[in-house]
Structures are given as structure tokens and as C-alpha cells.
Amino acid sequence: MDPPTSASARDEELLRGECAKAFEHYKQGNRSRGTDLLRKLLARHPAHPLLHYAYGRLAHMHALEQQQPDGLTQQFNECRARVKAAGIACSDSLLPCLLYAQMFYDVPTHSNQAAEDLKVVRNLATAAAASPLNTTDLQYAKAIVTFDEEVFGLALFPDVRECADSAAYRSQVLANLTKAPAMITDLNRVIENLARSHPERSPLDNFIELRDAEHESEAARRLQRVQARAGEEEADGALAAVHRVMAGKGAAHDLQEAAADWRNSADQGDASAQLLTGALLARGGGGVRRNQPLGKRYLELSAAAGNEAAVTLLKELRKCVGCGELDVHHMICSQCRDARYCDDDCQLRHW
């Protein structure tokens, strides 16, 4: 599919803003106003995947709030009707498939209906696999997270922060749809076990509690991964400056200020900050006074937390200055208490 023109890009921005407005109405307790807004937009744009997603997702969110069997069944039926219509209107998009499969994961399944529901989900996966690559799906998925942050808790929706391009997004969608039947089966098996171990509790209460906990856990796991990647990227960039200092090639003008911030974070237990602080203190430079014992202590703390870069730097600090061998423990210079050697030959070579 060709990239959108500048005019269509402006239209897309306006539609995304209207979706955000509809979700804001919902969050403020005015569900009907948000629904009416999306219904009017769909009358003008009947095959727009983002609008169909928002329309179906509002019904899905309302269904998730239901605590009684009748209300839950009614709202999930409404959700099913909206998402099914989305699949027909937007047959080239994977978004309706995802929301439809997620709905089956989130609704309690009666034993006499389980086999049929799983068949529907398997058919969704098959149909998605046969569909061509749609480059706009990732664009719409990225737009969705700007107004529906709770989508990060939906296990079947890929985390767009982890998708480098449209092909990667599609691959993750297909993988999630393929494993959806097993996820649904496992969830219902847990519910059956809970019913046997806690017969005093309603199976519906068990399901709702477990489902909602799964949503929260999924969102938390994804956030942890994002934070870990952000920390690694920040550490990679800052370590480049650290290595320039250690190599004697100069330092960034703000390195001393950054070092103070890193040390504050390091003292609070941040493994990435411990890595950076340790590297600077161990070698000094850029206005940072050298304190090798303290620097190694920070690096050891970071390494103990599983930071492989800290492990590598510790080995570099124990490098033989004669031959370059890493992680040398044998001979330490009696004068400077810093230089290390494999043996007498390396010491003589260094002198």
C-alpha cells in the first residue's frame, strides 16, 4: 500500500483526535456520547480500521466492567457484533482479527461452547496468515496507543514499542493469533481448578478476577521490558563517553554533571547507573576524580544485578597492561597498585 499523502495524513490526524475524544468521553462516564461520536464518523468512513477498532473497543471495555452474568453476556454480544462488522468492512486489516480473538480470551466460555469458540479463533489465525502485508496496520496500532493506553494489557495485541516495522508487527500478530487457542484453553483450565478448590466462590467471580489480573500483569511486564531497553540504550550512549574518558580521548562537557546524577541513581540501586558511576570512578577523567576501589565496588554491585557490561568492565580493569590479557589476578604493581601483569615478562615489557 502506498504511503498516505499529506492531505490524507491530515485527515488521519483528525480522525485519531476524534477517537481520542470518544475515549475521553468514555473515561468521564459518558459512554453513549463517545459511542455516538464514533458511529457518526463510521457513517462517513465506513471502512476505516481505526474507527472500527475504537467502536468495537468501547464495547469491549464496557463488557470488561460487567460483574453480573446477564450484563456481561449482553455487552460481549454487542462487542462481537461490532467487531464482526469491522472484519467485514476492513478485510485487509489485522486489527479486527486481534480484537475478535481478544474478546474470546476475555469472555467466560461455557463448556458446551468452548469447542466452537476455539474453532472461530483458529479460523481467525488461518485467515490472518493468508492475508497480505498491510503497511498501515502498524501505523494504526501506533495511533491506538495514543488514546487507548490500556491496550498494553491485552496479551494478543503486539506491543508496538517492540515492532521495528510493518513486517515485524505482522509476524507478532500471527504468532499471537496462533497461540490464542492455547491461551484461552489454559485460562479456562485454571478457572476449572479454582472452581474445584474454592467451591464457595462463583466461577464468574474467579474468571473476572483472574482475567483482570492477567491484563494488569501483561501491562506491567511490557512496561518493565520497555524500561529495561531504555536503560540499556541510555547506558550504551553514556558508556561511549565513559570509554572516551578511559581511553584518554577527552570527555563531553557535561560529563561531570551527568556523573553526579548517575551516582545518585546508583546509590538508590539502579544497576545501569552503578555501571556508569563505577566506570567513571575507576578511571577518572572529564573532571571526575579517580577512585578505583569505589568504582570497582559500584561495578561489582551492577554485575551482581546481572549487568553483563559491568562484568566486562571489571575484566577490563583487571587487564594485563603488558599483553592485554583480560581478567588478570596474578601480579599487581607494588608502586601504583593499579597496573596488573600476567607474569614478570609482561611487567618488563610494560616498563
Flag whether pLDDT at 339 surpasses 70: yes
Convert the pLDDT of each residue in 214-273 to its tens digit.
Answer: 888 888 888 877 766 665 565 556 556 555 554 554 444 456 666 777 788 888 888 878
Q: Which residue has the higher pLDDT, 183 or 331?
A: 183
Count other Cβ atoms within 10 Å, centred on residue 7: 8
pLDDT band, very low/low/confident/very high, at 351 (cuts 50, 70, 90): low
Only one residue has cell 565496588, namely 297
Of the ranges 14-23, 55-64, 95-104, 307-316, which one carries the lowest mean pLDDT score? Answer: 307-316
Give me the pLDDT at residue 170, please. 94
Average pLDDT over residues 204-209: 86
Give me the pLDDT at residue 247, please. 52
Cell of 52: 472500527
Domain ranges for the chain: 6-197, 318-351
pLDDT band, very low/low/confident/very high, at 277 (cuts 50, 70, 90): confident
Buried residues in 44-62 as b, exposed as e (16+ CB within 10 A): ebeebbbbbbbbbbbbbbb
The DSSP annotation for 216-259 comes to HHHHHHHHHHHHHHHHHHHHHHHHHHHHHHHTTS---TTHHHHH
pLDDT band, very low/low/confident/very high, at 7 (cuts 50, 70, 90): very low
Give me the pLDDT at residue 242, please. 58
pLDDT band, very low/low/confident/very high, at 65 (cuts 50, 70, 90): very high
Cα–Cα distance for residue pair 162/224, rounded to 1 Å? 12
Q: Which residue has the higher pLDDT, 118 or 43?
A: 43
Rounded percentage of the chain residues whose pLDDT exceeds 90: 35
Give me the pLDDT at residue 111, please. 56
Dihedral of CA 142/80/221/185: which sign? negative
Q: Which residue has the higher pLDDT, 313 or 167?
A: 167
Give me the pLDDT at residue 60, please. 95
Look over the chain and give the mean of its residue pLDDT values, rounded to a whole number.
82
Dihedral of CA 179/185/188/194: which sign? negative
Give me the pLDDT at residue 159, please. 94
Spatial CA neighbour of 22 closest among 10, 39, 46:
39
Question: Within 13 Å, how many C-alpha atoms sit on residue 251's CB side?
Answer: 19
Give me the pLDDT at residue 190, please. 84
Residue 288, beta-bridge partner list: 285
Flag whether pLDDT at 130 surpasses 80: yes
Cα–Cα distance for residue pair 301/140, rounded to 1 Å? 42
Of the ranges 19-23, 76-80, 260-264, 282-286, which one carries the lowest mean pLDDT score? Answer: 282-286
CA-to-CA dists, residue 44 to 11, 13, 273, angstroms: 12, 16, 52
Cα–Cα distance for residue pair 237/231, rounded to 1 Å? 10
Give me the pLDDT at residue 289, please. 77
Question: Does domain 6-197 fall into CATH 3.30.70?
Answer: no
Q: Is the pTM of this model over 0.75?
A: no
Q: Which residue has the higher pLDDT, 274 or 315?
A: 274
pLDDT band, very low/low/confident/very high, at 2 (cuts 50, 70, 90): very low
CA angle 10/15/17 to nearest 5° reads: 95
Cell of 13: 490526524
Flag whether pLDDT at 187 surpasses 50: yes
**Coil, helix or strand for 45?**
coil
**Coil, helix or strand for 339?**
coil
Average pLDDT over residues 3-26: 81
The DSSP annotation for 277-333 comes to HHHHHHH-BTTBPP-HHHHHHHHHHHHHTT-HHHHHHHHHHT-BTTT--SS--SEE-
Flag whether pLDDT at 86 surpasses 90: yes
Average pLDDT over residues 274-287: 76
Average pLDDT over residues 169-183: 93
Flag whether pLDDT at 1 surpasses 50: no
Cα–Cα distance for residue pair 242/334, rounded to 1 Å? 27
Cell of 221: 511486564
Cα–Cα distance for residue pair 308/1, rounded to 1 Å? 42
